[in-house]
A and B are shown apart, each in its own frame.
Chain A
Amino acid sequence: MKTTTKRMAALLACIMLVTLLAACAGNNNAPESGNAGNTDGAAGQTNNGDNAAVEEPEEPVVLEWLGYDSYAEPDADSAVVQMVEEKFNAEFDFWYVDAQKWDDNLNVKLAAGEMPDVLKIPNRQNIAKYVDQGILAPIPKEKFEELAPTYTAFIDENYPEAWDGVMFNGEIYAIPTTNLNGSYPTVVIWRQDWLDNVGIAKVPETLEEYEEALYKFRNDDPDGNGQKDTYGLSDFALPNILGAFGYPGISDFKQAAKGDPSKSLQFTEKDGQLVFAAVQPEMKEALAVLQQWYADGIIDPEFLTSENTTGYWADSQAFYNGKIGLTGMGMFYHWRHELDPSLPDDVGGGQYKAFMDAQPDGELAFGVPAVGPEGKSGTPQWDTTSHPVAITTKAAEDPRKLDTVLQMVEAAVTDYEYYLSVTSGEEGVDWKLDGDTFVNLSAADSVADQNKKGKNVLSVKVSYDEYLKKKDPFIYAFGDKYANINGYTSMFVPTVEVFEKNSSALNKLTIETYLKIITGESPVDAFDAYTEQFMRIGGTEVEEAVNAAYDELMGR
């Protein structure tokens, strides 16, 4: 009896194996039946119709998952993960890599020959390196169109540049992801009550009006305490001023000084060529203005250590404490000063709340970027693309893995409730739909809590504009109203290796020179020597490589 059972089991296992192989092969040849891993029902019929073991469910596809922002280790038993596993007949084996030391941590593992199946790439410049190391597998465009048609069309229409960001040597190496916030420029925030106190009726628009207001903030005692203890601006508003002359050479002084090259080595297009924004002659004019302002005491001398002295990056303690009257850097939702009538306990944006806590009588106004002598203006904009998610060569060995990931992407842009689940947690526990209104029941979760509950873990970082606006209509309506200002979009740059090699030295040189000129330690003319040195120690090399790659990409 026992042996019979064993034999039966062995036979059954064999049949299952054959079925499995058949199903996989079927996937390759007949993509319409690619839903093999889906429990929706259709899969069983199309694939296994003529097979003996019709009712045998397929083995779940196992995915080693690092396709998320890892602030904590996701709980594999969380409702969201369970739901997704069931829906796609998948099993997730989560990798956890410390988000703040991502490259340090991951590179060791990659160098040791370990790789996950699905991998987020925070630094796009790494794509080239990873491809060379044989870590990333290309994803044919046809696969996208076949398994994620809605998402592909969404990218094609709204963010075509996102494809460029994941291309290398003419092949797509990752699933592009988008960032709706990148289409809103960073904001300009004024102290409205200070403007009133110094007798300025209109929120300043041109550089002259800016100058007038800022000088009055310094000299006319806008806070009425009888002391000359106020300044015009600190570091957050500097990119705005640079923007009055051209593409801001540095988009975030604090982060650039901390060594983040993406904040100082932005490209801009001039005469069809990509050039470094930081070394353009118009930046010299801008620095001359800032040097004068610094000498006249308009710029808070503590801008060197940033107006954000503690806490969340968008906080400006100098602004909260009535030391400066102009700030920026944050997004519209940080400083949102209109309350959502549908939420009874809405307190506005986080920074607005902090400001009102500190200055109960204060009042702020959303402004526009300063318009310079040649009519230029704008604040830096965030990248409209987000971290792409790639498939490794290990995962490419089993075509079901890529299929599953693409199906997950498609589900997140076609099924609103699925989208809400993978981004906001368990329905009824973490959120609910009140008619059409999204009600977040777990708004206080920190990013780590979110990860633990499985929020934003299995969304493949999909951020679908339509659903975002459907979810938070009030906030985006606010953004459309107040952040409808000029911005400098983050220019897409193809990934080249020389850039990565030189970026840290070039960033250091740039931020040092800018700070020295503003504080008057170096004369404005030092800018010429800086430009020359910048180009010599790698600037030229990088520009040439980037332009060659760009031309190739654009098919020129």
Chain B
Amino acid sequence: MATKMNFGDRLFLIGVYAALLVLVLSMMLPLLQVVTISLSPPKVVNSYGFHLFPTVLDFSGYAKVLRYDAIWTAYGNTVLRTLLGTAITLLLTFLGAYPLSKKRLPHRKFWTGFVVLTMFFSGGMIPTYLLVKGLGLMNTIWALVLPSAISVFLLLIVRNFMIALPESLEESAKIDGANDVFILFRIVLPLSLPIIATVGLYTAVWHWNAWFDSMIYIQEESKQVLQLILRRILLEGQDVSVETSASMQAAVSTETVKMAALVVSVLPIMCVYPFLQKYFVKGTLIGSVKG
């Protein structure tokens, strides 16, 4: 522990803290604005200037959002999709990357090339749609988790990570009498935890944020994901065309309601994230090969 800091060190620290403070502010201020608007009546929302702290409290936005069933069912769908999707992706990516990382796999170059090819050439939206439809996945959660089950990019990352694992570990396990499955789950898996955590994080975030596939493949509102419902609420009333067809001005959600919906859907993940983050940081440290 350093007990004394010279002037240069102090200056450096001040600089670092200042930079971090700016960074924090740049993230906190928009968030504060959203929270404040969700608590303010339209009169305040329409006034100019920053809305960092609520001046007049109005909970009508939350009252309306909490009564909005679609948000809650969509919440469940998103959580389910994220858990299921991440689990499938992790399993398949891990099982797919391992053989590709082994030199003794016959035609390894060909298989790798075969997989990589799909990274550059995809069928496009309509063929994918036809495929999903043909497989009978339409309007089910599988349409959301299966087409995206393996990301070639993540697969390659895991494969490269596994290639870097020392061959000798495996050999010594073999000598001790371990079979391939045992080696995979007792030797390779623990060593690969950091990369698995990374892949899991990527995938989970991707699933949490995805909405386009839900819009295309899911018909029933009770199966839609949160982001799609949110998007619909947020964009309400921004376009004239609503009224060129409806006979008279329709009641649209106010900004207060929209921001309340936003807060409600963001808050849980914000509460959970700091605790998850701890594991992600840990995950990248534990299990790494030492020496």
Name A residues whose Cβ lies closer than 8 Å to a Cβ of B. 69, 71-73, 95-96, 98-101, 105, 108-109, 111-112, 114, 122, 177, 179-182, 252, 255, 310-313, 315, 317, 320-321, 323, 331, 333-334, 349-350, 354, 357-358, 382-383, 386-387, 423, 443-448, 450, 456, 461, 463, 468, 472, 475
CB atoms of A313 and B238 under 8 A apart: yes
CB atoms of B252 and A446 under 8 A apart: yes
Question: What per-residue 1/0 map shows which CB atoms of B123-136 lie under 8 Å from chain A?
Answer: 00110011001000
Indicate which residue in B215, B231, B246, B254 contacts A105 across the interface (CB closer than 8 Å): B215
CB atoms of A446 and B46 under 8 A apart: no
CB atoms of A463 and B247 under 8 A apart: yes
A-B interface contact total, Cβ < 8 Å = 128
Question: What per-residue 1/0 map shows which CB atoms of B208-222 lie under 8 Å from chain A?
Answer: 000000011001110
Name B residues whose Cβ lies closer than 8 Å to a Cβ of A. 42-43, 45-48, 70, 125-126, 129-130, 133, 215-216, 219-221, 228, 231-233, 235-255
What residues of B have a CB within 8 angstroms of the CB of A445 in the complex? 251
Question: From DSSP, what is the main secondary structure of chain A's interface residues?
Answer: loop
CB atoms of B240 and A313 under 8 A apart: yes
CB atoms of A122 and B46 under 8 A apart: no
Q: 22 A–B contact pairs at CB < 8 A?
A: A71-B236, A71-B242, A98-B232, A112-B130, A177-B245, A181-B248, A255-B239, A310-B45, A311-B237, A312-B237, A312-B238, A313-B237, A313-B239, A320-B46, A321-B48, A333-B248, A334-B249, A354-B46, A386-B245, A443-B251, A446-B252, A468-B247
CB atoms of A475 and B248 under 8 A apart: yes
A334 to B243, CA, bound (A): 11
Given contacts A313-B239, A446-B252, A448-B232, contact A111 B126 (CB under 8 A): yes
What residues of A have a CB within 8 angstroms of the CB of B235 in the complex? 100
8 residue pairs, one from A and one from B, having the closest CB atoms? A73-B221, A357-B43, A312-B237, A386-B245, A111-B126, A447-B250, A311-B255, A320-B46
Given contacts A112-B129, A311-B255, contact A446 B220 (CB under 8 A): no
CB atoms of B246 and A357 under 8 A apart: no
CB atoms of B129 and A387 under 8 A apart: no
Residue of A nearest to B234 (CB): A100
A387 to B219, CA, bound (A): 22
What residues of B have a CB within 8 angstroms of the CB of A323 in the complex? 48
A100 to B215, CA, bound (A): 11
CB atoms of A317 and B48 under 8 A apart: yes
What residues of B have a CB within 8 angstroms of the CB of A101 in the complex? 215
Residue of A nearest to B42 (CB): A354
Indicate which residue in A96, A358, A443, A447 contacts B46 across the interface (CB closer than 8 Å): A358
Indicate which residue in A100, A105, A386 contacts B216 across the interface (CB closer than 8 Å): A105
| Interface hub of B48, B129, B253, B254 (most chain A Cβ within 10 A) | B48
What residues of B have a CB within 8 angstroms of the CB of A177 in the complex? 245
Indicate which residue in A331, A383, A386, A447 contacts B252 across the interface (CB closer than 8 Å): A447
What residues of B have a CB within 8 angstroms of the CB of A317 in the complex? 46-48
What residues of B have a CB within 8 angstroms of the CB of A100 in the complex? 231-232, 235, 239
A311 to B249, CA, bound (A): 14
What residues of A have a CB within 8 angstroms of the CB of B46 in the complex? 310-311, 315, 317, 320-321, 354, 357-358
CB atoms of B248 and A122 under 8 A apart: no
What residues of A have a CB within 8 angstroms of the CB of B237 in the complex? 311-313
A444 to B126, CA, bound (A): 39
Closest-CB distance, B64 to chain A (whole angstroms): 9
What residues of B have a CB within 8 angstroms of the CB of A321 in the complex? 46-48
A351 to B239, CA, bound (A): 15
Closest-CB distance, B128 to chain A (whole angstroms): 9
What residues of A have a CB within 8 angstroms of the CB of B133 in the complex? 112, 114
A349 to B243, CA, bound (A): 14
A334 to B252, CA, bound (A): 13
A443 to B249, CA, bound (A): 10
A71 to B43, CA, bound (A): 27
What residues of A have a CB within 8 angstroms of the CB of B249 in the complex? 331, 333-334, 349-350
CB atoms of B42 and A357 under 8 A apart: yes
CB atoms of B246 and A72 under 8 A apart: no
A388 to B127, CA, bound (A): 30
What residues of B have a CB within 8 angstroms of the CB of A98 in the complex? 215, 228, 232
A109 to B219, CA, bound (A): 12
CB atoms of A311 and B125 under 8 A apart: no
What residues of A have a CB within 8 angstroms of the CB of B247 in the complex? 180-181, 423, 463, 468
10 more A-B contacts (CB under 8 A) besides A312-B237, A315-B46, A357-B42? A101-B215, A122-B241, A182-B244, A310-B46, A312-B252, A354-B43, A386-B245, A446-B236, A447-B246, A447-B252
Closest-CB distance, A458 to chain B (whole angstroms): 15
A423 to B245, CA, bound (A): 12
Closest-CB distance, B218 to chain A (whole angstroms): 9
Closest-CB distance, B147 to chain A (whole angstroms): 13
Indicate which residue in B215, B219, B245, B251 contacts A95 across the interface (CB closer than 8 Å): B219
Closest-CB distance, A101 to chain B (whole angstroms): 6
What residues of B have a CB within 8 angstroms of the CB of A179 in the complex? 244-245
What residues of B have a CB within 8 angstroms of the CB of A444 in the complex? 251
A448 to B235, CA, bound (A): 12
A69 to B250, CA, bound (A): 12
What residues of A have a CB within 8 angstroms of the CB of B253 in the complex? 446
| Interface hub of A69, A109, A448 (most chain B Cβ within 10 A) | A448
Closest-CB distance, B176 to chain A (whole angstroms): 55
Closest-CB distance, A227 to chain B (whole angstroms): 14
Closest-CB distance, A99 to chain B (whole angstroms): 8
Given contacts A108-B129, A321-B48, contact A181 B42 (CB under 8 A): no
Residue of B nearest to A320 (CB): B46
A312 to B125, CA, bound (A): 33
A273 to B176, CA, bound (A): 91
Residue of A nearest to B222 (CB): A73
CB atoms of A461 and B245 under 8 A apart: yes
A450 to B130, CA, bound (A): 32
Closest-CB distance, A76 to chain B (whole angstroms): 11
What residues of B have a CB within 8 angstroms of the CB of A311 in the complex? 42, 45-46, 237, 254-255
What residues of A have a CB within 8 angstroms of the CB of B221 in the complex? 72-73, 96
Closest-CB distance, A434 to chain B (whole angstroms): 19
CB atoms of B243 and A181 under 8 A apart: yes
A324 to B233, CA, bound (A): 30
What residues of B have a CB within 8 angstroms of the CB of A386 in the complex? 244-245
Closest-CB distance, B122 to chain A (whole angstroms): 15
Closest-CB distance, A451 to chain B (whole angstroms): 10
CB atoms of B238 and A383 under 8 A apart: no
What residues of B have a CB within 8 angstroms of the CB of A109 in the complex? 129
Residue of A nearest to B43 (CB): A357
Closest-CB distance, B157 to chain A (whole angstroms): 31
A387 to B253, CA, bound (A): 24
Indicate which residue in A73, A255, A447, A450 contacts B220 across the interface (CB closer than 8 Å): A73
Residue of B nearest to A462 (CB): B247
Indicate which residue in B70, B125, B220, B243 contacts A108 across the interface (CB closer than 8 Å): B125
Indicate which residue in B42, B232, B248, B250 contacts A472 across the interface (CB closer than 8 Å): B248
What residues of B have a CB within 8 angstroms of the CB of A310 in the complex? 45-46, 255
